[in-house]
Each structure stands twice: as C-alpha cells, then as structure tokens.
Structure 1
Amino acid sequence: MSHLDSYRRQATAGAPPIPELNAPWEARVARPDGYDLHLVHRWNQAPHVAAFWRQAWTLPRWEDELRGQLGGDDVRPVVVGWHGRPVIYAEVYRAARDVVAGCYRARPHDLGLRLAVGELAMTDQGLVRALLPHLADALFEADPHCTRIVMEPDVRNTRAIRSFEAGGFVIADEIMLPNKVALLMVCKR
C-alpha cells in the first residue's frame, strides 16, 4: 500500500490545522477582535504588505474576514510569534478549495500558506527562511494525509520568493490568479 492509497481514502479534508511550533516560535489562531484584529489590520495597512497582499481593508472588513475564516473550513488565520513577540501574519488554507486549485492539480489535503512579516523593521532579518522548515514540518505532522504545501507569492515580491526558496520551497510554475501574476511554490513531504 502506498501513501497515495491512504490519501485516496481521505478524499475530503477538514479545516486546515493550526501548526504547533517549538520555541522560539509559536503559532495561534488570530482572533477576530481585540488585539489580534487591530494587529492584523495594522499589518495589512503597512505599505510593504499592502503592495503585495492588496488587503489594506477597513477594520470592520478585517473583522468580517477573520470571523468568516474561522466560521468556515477553508482558511485559518494565524499569528506567528518569535521569542514571544508577534511578527508574522499567516493564512493556512486548503489549496483544493482556493482559487489556486485552478492552476495546478490540487489534492484534497494539500495545504496553502500565505505569510507576511507585519513590522517593516522585522523584514530582512531571516525570520521567514528560519520559520518555514519548522512550519512545514508542523503542518505535515498536523495533517498526515497532506503531501504538499503550496505558496503563491506575487512574481514582483523577490524578497519573499528568495526567503521561501531558502526555507525549502521550490518554484513549480508561473500562474495567473485573479489579482496577480504569481509563482506557484511547493514544499513536498
């Protein structure tokens, strides 16, 4: 029996998992109120994030977005901390239920990952390249049926692409998404 036989029996996948990370990293669900809501909103207003995420939305729209993500089974909003300080906003999603599935042969348990370092002062510190191997391992461990994690950075975001490559992701293709030309990047189990 191959690992794909096990995968085929799991033709539907539940909500994406929240990764359990070891120190100095931590990950938790981003709450749709209070500190988390204001943090996610502020980070997405920052020019270095807004330029590529295009989600410099109002606070009420972010509240609705986070509530919607937590109310469904497609996406989990996550705040990643480093040494006790929140530094990264992430979205862990089921790639087969996302627009990216129209660009490659997504399997039900494939996970997608979007990352943004919120504070400009924390960019270019090697955080993403240091985090990604731990995060990928934690996601694979949390979902034993997942065989691939994908990312889809904007082709213009060369800083992120270099970090994702250094963190273990490989460029698979250039793809067209509704709001950007992106690189499909893959990390296999």
Structure 2
Amino acid sequence: MTKELINEFKDVVNENYGIYLDCLMCFLITLNDFEEKIERYAKKIGYTFVNQDKIPFSHYSPTRDKYLHTETHGEFKSRMSKGGKNYNFVGNTFIISVYAFWEDHYRQKIASSMGKKKNELKEPIMGDIRLIRNSLVHHKAIALKEIEECEVLQIFKEGDTICFSDEQIFEIVEHINNYMDKLLSSIE
C-alpha cells in the first residue's frame, strides 16, 4: 500500500507539472497567434505596434452578455509573455497545488502506511515548499522572512516577489521525485 501511495503522489506531482508545461505552451501559441493577427490588422489600417499596444482588448462572456476583463493589447502581450503574470501565476499555482496534495492528503496516508506519524515524514524540499506556499497564499506572493529558512530552494529573500523560472519548477519536480524515490527505497 505504501508503494502505491508514494507512486500515486509522484503521479500527481508529474501530472501537475504537465499541466504547468501545457499552460506555458498555450501562452506561447496564443501570444504568437495574437501578434500575427495584430500585425496583419495593423498593416491593413496603417497602425504601428506601439499604437496597437494602447488599444483596449476584452474577453467577452457570451453567457452574461458583457465583458468581464479588459486590458490593452500591450498589457495582454506582457501578461502572456515569458516571465509575465500568467507564467508567474501557473508557477505559483503549481507550488500551492503540490503542497495541498501533499499536506492535506498524501503525507498522512503515506506516514500511516509506514507506521509513522504525519510529522515524522519530513524532507527539506517539502518544508521549503511549505514556506514558499505560505508567502504565496498569505502574503500575496511577497516573500516573508521565514522564506530565508529554506534549505534546498534558496531562491528568495524577504520582500522578494515570488516568481519561478521554468528551470526552477523543473528542479522542484526533480527534488520531489527524488524524495519519493528515497521513500520507496526505504520500504523495499
């Protein structure tokens, strides 16, 4: 049972990572498609990209017959670009999601199946994710002082805006998978 639970959590982490990567690909495709359409439209009416960046852009909600979100073309492109708000959001959401699955579901089950208490199942990577998650959820993605206690993910200092690069998210996934492999070897 322990082995199955550990592998199930690994699957959850890797599935969440796949969704993260899918989102990044969608941002890139959407941005490229948007820029191509804008370029064609700009040529047609004689606008420059600078002028286009100031034109309002809205997401229409057909079920409500109104616009729920508006921004300029420039704001849209910035948000969809690598390092923009959307990239930061999905990276931060990945961290929050993985921690929630671990802390609220798998940690207790895995510990119990190993004959341990939940708090006996500790690993620096999971503690670091907890500290980062606290800053994400409770401090609007601004690093709290406690983030400097991270042992593995020594990325942020107090007051930093928390945003991850693709490489950092990949490394986090590797650290979690290595921890799960370590747990698996301890029961074999």
Q: What TM-score comes out, normalization by structure 2 length?
A: 0.25
Determine which structure has the larger strand proportion and give its number: 1
Larger Rg: 2
